[in-house]
């Protein structure tokens, strides 16, 4: 079990597999020295506004003073509508070079956290270079906005730049720094939680395997000690959240918004849906998913021979007694993955094989590696990188397939010429990864994949169950955050706990929580997004609905579904969310009718799979 008590790497553009139910491991990042091939030189802009180094290697040892002059050059160069495209190209290339240099440093550090030099290089980028580069980027974006220039393919970039400029307030900079500090405190408290287990001190994630135990008493005990660890720090965590609430409310007020929710929608560039749409999503979950989950729980109750389902009965495997062991060697892990992605689409298979041959996969668990997993991109050379800690369990396969979905997105979106055109929001990023989980699921079976027919069947069942169970949790977390920032009572710790219980009982039915009120409250304190990434959660629900539509299409016509999937990814961030989803053959779903259809599809498939 990896030790989670490491510094979490926070780098924009690094996404991880975010199972919304499990703790969000993905951004716990940290890797061996990876031998990259020497990047090839990129074709320079026709007329360079500034002269740039030929490769990110030039910035490997750079400090901010080495980089600042390039921004200064772009900030002071003459800028007119006649040369704006060359200027943009130069700026974009500068961003690519810095981004890739910083990413290479992060990859090196996460692969080898004990190396002080690698840590220093990573920190130089994350704490010195990136924040200042970001500030300079805002300065340059203002020049562009001032020019009032736009064109096809650049509209969404300009819209994001304009929004960022509109909501920027100098007086909020200190508040963001304070929020960073408060987030670090949360991380420290939660990362340091331990529990006593059979005479040993264990971290909370180390208790996870016991929640799957067949022996009900064992899993109950593990469940209880895990929650007790949080409950013992509840007052401290509540006080910490009080401070976050105050700081966020101030941020919103300074920027002229009546509450933090409205600010968050703007700052997260949610141009295509509103808080009212999210409320419709919650209602749709309540009417379609909640009853479906209750049916699954009833099935579980019967299978386990219980009189009622208690919260510690949720982790135990129904389909098999032995855990899946998909591979015992990382070479096999990679080779089978190549075959699986080839089956999904030959082009995707080629891309994944290229990652393997180019040293862009660091998969096996090793001493000194940071825990968790992530996919990041090397912006200059236009290739992704996947990091994880595989130990040969089913979840490793799930993680790799998910992260590979992000990688295929990075490959496809790199066809967009400018760096800002390549990154859509999380709603589209997770559409890529969650769709791949479903698109790859028919091929997990041997000879291409890892499993016997029976094992593949149970892996699929678990995946589909996870999808259903995650949606009420997503709705709870989103509805709760909305309540916190708009009810007028969110500043009060006791009121928050009461509101959570009320919201939770709306979305979570069929589990007997009697006598466990405090433990039920503890759940929200475990959700790091609520503390550290406010309002970042509904994206998973939106993307899951999109992925289910892509999957539905693939069941009828696999080749066309994958073709549309790839076309959508290639759009990068050049169009709005509805257009990206449309290209993928899907749409944004907030309504109960469509959600109900998709839930029925999942339930029917579960019934089929269980029938064998
Ligand atoms: Zn992801």
State residue 320's pLDDT score. Answer: 80
Distance of CA 414 from the midpoint of ligand 1 (Å) = 18
Q: How far is the CA of 17 from the centre of ligand 1 (A)?
A: 4
Q: Work out the angle at residue 494's Cα, subtended by the Cα atoms of residues 492 and 499, and round it to the nearest 5 degrees.
A: 90
Whole-number Å distance, alpha carbon 406 to ligand 1 midpoint, is 7
**Mean pLDDT of the 57-85 span:** 97
> Phi/psi of residue 194, each to 5°?
-135, 165
CA of 307 to the centre of ligand 1 (A): 37
Q: Which two tokens stand for residue 441?
A: 């699921």
Phi/psi at 576 (5° precision): -75, 170
CA dihedral over 166, 171, 175, 177, signed as positive or negative = positive
How many Å apart are CA 98 and CA 137, to the nearest integer?
A: 12
For ligand 1, the distance from its centroid to the CA atom of residue 16, given in whole angstroms, is 4
14 Cα–ligand 1 center, Å: 9
Give me ligand 1 centre to Cα 606, in Å. 24
- d(CA 61, CA 53) in angstroms, rounded, equals 13
Tell me, in angstroms, the distance from the centre of ligand 1 to residue 399's CA: 9
pLDDT at res. 47: 57
Distance 429 CA to ligand 1 centre (A): 7
pTM: 0.92
Instruction: Give mean pLDDT, residues 190-211.
Output: 91
The size of the chain, in residues, is 612
Residues 423, 433: Cα–Cα separation, whole Å: 14
Instruction: Give the span between the Cα atoms of 5 and 144, in whole angstroms.
Output: 42
Full 3-state SS string of 480-527: HHHHHHHCCCCCCHHHHHHHHHHHHHHHCCCCCCCCCHHHHHHHHHCC
- 405 CA distance to ligand 1 centroid (A)? 8
- Using the mean position of ligand 1's atoms as its centre, give its distance from the Cα of residue 437 in Å: 11
CA of 295 relative to ligand 1 center, distance in Å: 28
pLDDT above 80: residue 398: yes
Give the residue, 351 or 203, on which the prediction is more confident: 351
**Cis omega before residue 447 (within 30°)?**
yes
Q: Which residues pair with 201 in a beta bridge?
A: 196
Of all helices (H) and strands (E), which one includes residue 195? strand 194-197
User: How far, in Å, from the CA of 375 to the mean position of ligand 1?
Assistant: 8
pLDDT at 474 over 80: yes
C-alpha 19 – ligand 1 centre gap (Å):
8
To the nearest whole number, what is the mean pLDDT of the chain?
A: 91
507-529 confidence digits (pLDDT tens): 999 999 999 999 999 999 999 99
Please give the distance, rounded to the nearest whole angstrom, from the Cα atom of residue 15 to the centre of ligand 1.
5
Q: Where are the alpha helices (DSSP H) in 216-269?
A: 216-231, 234-254, 260-267
**373 Cα–ligand 1 center, Å:** 10
The predicted-structure confidence for 28-41, as pLDDT tens digits, reads as follows 222 223 344 444 44
- Judged by DSSP in three states, 338 sits in helix
Ligand 1 center to residue 432 CA distance, Å? 8
Is 348 exposed, middle or buried, given 0-12, 13-18 or 19+ CB atoms closer than 10 A? buried
Going from the Cα of 12 to the center of ligand 1, the distance in angstroms, rounded, reads 13
Give me ligand 1 centre to Cα 434, in Å.
7
* 1-10, 265-274, 308-317, range with the lowest pLDDT: 1-10
- Both tokens of residue 323? 């855990």
How close is the Cα of 409 to the center of ligand 1, in Å?
Answer: 11
Cα(11) to centroid of ligand 1, in Å?
14
pLDDT band at 50; cut points 50, 70, 90: confident
Q: How far is the CA of 572 from the centre of ligand 1 (A)?
A: 15
Residue 289 CA, ligand 1 centroid: distance in Å: 22
**C-alpha 232 to ligand 1 mean position (Å):** 32
Query: How close is the Cα of 69 to the center of ligand 1, in Å?
Result: 35
Q: How far is the CA of 337 from the centre of ligand 1 (A)?
A: 18
| End-to-end Cα distance, the chain | 33
What's the CA-to-centroid distance between 18 and ligand 1, angstroms? 5
pLDDT tens column, 569-580 = 999 999 999 999
pLDDT(1) > 50: no
CA dist 421 → 118, 413, 418 (Å): 31, 8, 5
CA distance 250 to 297: 43
Cα 224 to ligand 1 centre (Å): 30
343 Cα to the center of ligand 1, angstroms = 22
Name, in order, each residue with C-beta under 8 angstroms of 189's C-beta and a sequence gap of 6 or more: 233, 236, 237, 240
Q: What mean pLDDT comes out for the span 539-563?
A: 98
* pLDDT greater than 60 at residue 14: no
For residue 459, with 0-12 CB atoms within 10 Å meaning exposed, 13-18 middle and 19 or more buried, which class applies? Answer: buried
The whole-number pLDDT of residue 372 equals 87
Alpha carbon of 34 to ligand 1 centroid (Å) = 22
Confidence of residue 240 (pLDDT cuts 50, 70, 90): very high
The per-residue pLDDT for 19 is 36
- How remote is the CA of residue 438 from the centroid of ligand 1, in Å? 14
Find the 431 Cα to ligand 1 centroid distance in Å.
Answer: 9
**Interval 462-486 mean pLDDT:** 97
The pairs formed by 208-214 with CB atoms below 8 angstroms and a separation of 24 or more are 208/1, 208/315, 209/1, 211/312, 211/314, 211/315, 211/316, 212/315, 212/316, 212/317, 212/323, 213/316, 214/316, 214/321
Per-residue confidence at 318, pLDDT binned at 50, 70, 90? confident
């Amino acid at each position: 079990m990896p030790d989670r008590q490491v510094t979490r790497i926070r780098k924009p553009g690094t996404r991880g597999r975010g199972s919304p139910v499990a703790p969000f491991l993905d951004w716990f990042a940290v890797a061996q020295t990876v031998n990259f091939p020497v990047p090839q030189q990129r074709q320079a802009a026709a007329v360079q506004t500034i002269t740039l180094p030929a490769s990110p290697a030039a910035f490997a040892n750079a400090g901010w003073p080495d980089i600042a002059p390039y921004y200064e050059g772009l900030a002071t160069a003459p800028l007119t509508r006649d040369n704006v495209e060359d200027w943009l190209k130069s700026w974009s290339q500068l961003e690519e070079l810095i981004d890739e240099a910083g990413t290479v440093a992060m990859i090196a550090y996460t692969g080898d956290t004990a190396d002080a030099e690698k840590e220093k290089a990573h920190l130089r980028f994350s704490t010195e270079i990136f924040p200042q580069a970001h500030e300079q980027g805002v300065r340059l974006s203002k020049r562009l906005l001032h020019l009032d220039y736009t064109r096809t393919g650049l509209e969404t970039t300009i819209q994001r730049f304009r929004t960022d400029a509109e909501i920027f307030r100098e007086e909020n900079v200190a508040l963001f720094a304070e929020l960073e500090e408060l987030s670090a405190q949360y991380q420290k408290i939660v990362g340091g939680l331990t529990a006593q287990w059979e005479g040993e001190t264990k971290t909370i994630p180390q208790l996870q395997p016991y929640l799957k135990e067949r022996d009900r008493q064992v899993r109950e005990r593990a469940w209880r000690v895990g929650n007790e660890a949080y409950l013992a720090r509840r007052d401290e965590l509540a006080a910490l959240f009080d401070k976050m609430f105050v700081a966020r409310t101030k941020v919103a007020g300074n920027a002229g918004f009546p509450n933090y929710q409205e600010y968050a929608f703007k700052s997260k560039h949610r141009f295509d849906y509103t808080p009212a749409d999210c409320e419709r999503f919650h209602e749709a979950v309540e009417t379609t998913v909640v009853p479906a989950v209750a049916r699954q729980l009833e099935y579980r109750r019967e299978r386990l021979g219980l009189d009622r389902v208690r919260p510690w009965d949720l982790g135990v495997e129904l389909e098999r007694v032995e855990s899946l062991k998909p591979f015992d060697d990382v070479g096999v892990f990679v080779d089978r993955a190549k075959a699986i992605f080839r089956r999904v689409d030959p082009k995707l298979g080629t891309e994944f094989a290229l990652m393997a041959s180019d040293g862009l996969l660091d998969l096996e668990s090793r001493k000194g590696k940071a825990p968790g997993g992530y996919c990041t991109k090397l912006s200059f050379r236009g290739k992704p990188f996947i990091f994880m800690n595989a130990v040969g369990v089913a979840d490793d396969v799930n993680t790799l397939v998910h992260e590979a979905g992000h990688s295929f997105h990075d490959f496809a979106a790199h066809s967009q010429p400018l760096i800002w055109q390549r990154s859509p929001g999380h709603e589209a990023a997770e559409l890529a990864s969650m769709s791949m989980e479903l698109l790859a699921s028919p091929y997990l079976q041997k000879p291409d994949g890892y499993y016997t027919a029976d094992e593949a069947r149970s892996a699929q069942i678990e995946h589909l169950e996870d999808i259903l169970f995650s949606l009420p949790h997503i709705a709870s977390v989103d509805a709760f955050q909305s309540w916190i920032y708009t009810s007028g009572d969110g500043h009060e710790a006791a009121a928050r706990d009461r509101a959570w219980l009320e919201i939770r009982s709306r979305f979570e039915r069929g589990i007997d929580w009697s006598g466990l009120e405090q433990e039920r409250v503890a759940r929200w304190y475990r959700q790091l997004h609520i503390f550290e990434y406010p309002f970042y959660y509904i994206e998973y629900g939106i993307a899951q609905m999109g992925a289910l539509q892509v999957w539905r299409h693939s069941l009828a016509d696999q080749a066309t579904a994958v073709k549309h999937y790839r076309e959508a990814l290639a759009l990068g961030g050049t169009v709005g969310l509805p257009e990206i989803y449309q290209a993928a053959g899907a749409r944004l779903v907030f309504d109960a009718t469509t959600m109900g259809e998709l839930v029925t599809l999942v339930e029917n498939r579960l019934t089929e799979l269980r029938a064998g």
